[in-house]
Every structure is written in structure tokens, then in C-alpha cells.
Amino acid sequence: MHHIIRSFALSAALALCAPFASATVLSFDDLAAPDDIAYVPANYGGLDWSGSGMFAFTAEQAPFTPHSGQGRVTTDWIDGGPVASTIRFLAPTIFDGAWFSGDGDNSVRFDLYFGGQLVASSAALNLSESPAFLSAGWGSAIDMIVVSGSAQGSYAMDDFSFENAAQVPEPGSLALVLGGLGLAGAARLRRGRR
């Protein structure tokens, strides 16, 4: 019986931890050839970028330092380009955040939406040449984000991180599993004392 409980506990722990290891990170390294730029495809990474107006580039260009690799994205530098970029998720998603670098006189932030309603806004991140992580600051499902810079073309975004919300267990589910394991262990101890 002790072997069965231990096997069940190990299986439950692995099942609960697996979703947390499945975050997707878009590095943009595969989008632009060296010294070239390319608009982010509308369906890149399984997301809808059609409203983003973003392009990827790999050339060295201060202060737009990549966090990893050479690829990163930004808004158009041409006059009239977007200051805010919309990225849509095709399923409810937990958005972690992304890395940013850029013009030190500017800042960037996220607005997070679900079902057309604004549900949260991140803190503003003051930009610099050294990449820094901007956390979404929201642990619930969303279906769209808007990346807003204080000026067009003021930032480079890299290592965009998210996970499917269906894979993340609710806190109540975790408590239920742990409570069940506690009861099974208590029953086992009680039987062992007889």
C-alpha cells in the first residue's frame, strides 16, 4: 500500500509541475536575415500579429540591444508609425512578459485584455540600452495585449513569454490534490499503527 501511495504522489507532483515547464518564448531570431528587416508574419508563433505593425531585425543597432540571439521586434520608425501595437492570442493565455531595450528617454508598458475588456496594465518600464524584463503583472487568462511605447520606434522587444491558460492548474485544483494526498497519508499512518 505504501508503494501505491508513493507512486500516486510522485505522479501527481509531476502532473502538477509539467504545465509550468511549458512556457513558450518567442525570440524572433528566425524572422529576419542578418542586416535585414521583415514584418512579423500575421500568424507568427501561433498568435495574431496582424494589428501589431511590428517588424523584426537582427542588425546591431544601439540602443536596441537584444536579450538573446540577435532577433528582436519594434514598431515602424517611419513618421506616422504606431506607438501602440496589438497582439492577439488565439486561446486564453497566461502572458508572462518580455524583454525590452531602447531609447532611455522613453518607457513601455502592457495593457491586457480579455473578452474585449481591459483587465490589467503592467507597470511602466523605463528603457535603456541594457535589456530589462517587463512582467505583465497579471496571472489570469487574457486574449489580447497592447504594447505601448511613449514614442514610436522607441523600443526593441525580445523573448516574448506566454503559456496556454488551459495548462495552468487553478489554485483550488492544487489545494484539492494536496489535500487528497494528505488524507491518503493520514489513512496509511493510521492503518500502520493498528
47-48 vs 84-102, strand pairing mode: antiparallel
Quick one: pLDDT at residue 151? 87
Could you give phi then psi for residue 120, rounded to 5 degrees? -165, 160
13's grid cell: 507532483
pLDDT tier at 32, thresholds 50, 70, 90: confident
Q: What is the pLDDT of residues 161-187, one digit of tens each?
A: 999 887 545 455 545 555 565 655 555
H or E stretch covering 137: none
- Reduced DSSP (H G I as helix, E B as strand, rest coil) percent helix, strand, coil of the chain, to 5: 25, 35, 40
- Nearest to residue 63, comparing CAs of 160, 161, 137, 151? 151
Residue where the block lists cell 531609447: 103
100-136 pLDDT, tens digit per residue, is 999 999 999 999 999 999 999 999 999 999 999 999 9
∠ CA 134-140-143, rounded to 5°:
80
Q: At what angle do helices 171-193 and 2-17 cross, to 10 degrees?
A: 170
Q: Which are the contacts of 143, defined by CB distance < 8 A and separation ≥ 6?
A: 88, 89, 91, 92, 93, 113, 114, 115
DSSP string, 41-106: PTTGGGEE-TTT-EEEE-S--TT---SSSS-EEEE--STT--SEEEEEEEEEEEEEEEEEEE-TT-
**Res. 44: pLDDT tops 50:** yes
Give the chain's domains with CATH numbers: 23-168 (2.60.120.260)
In this prediction, residue 137 has a pLDDT band, given cuts at 50, 70 and 90, of very high
Q: What is the 3-state secondary structure (H, E, C) of 75-88?
A: ECCCCCCCCEEEEE
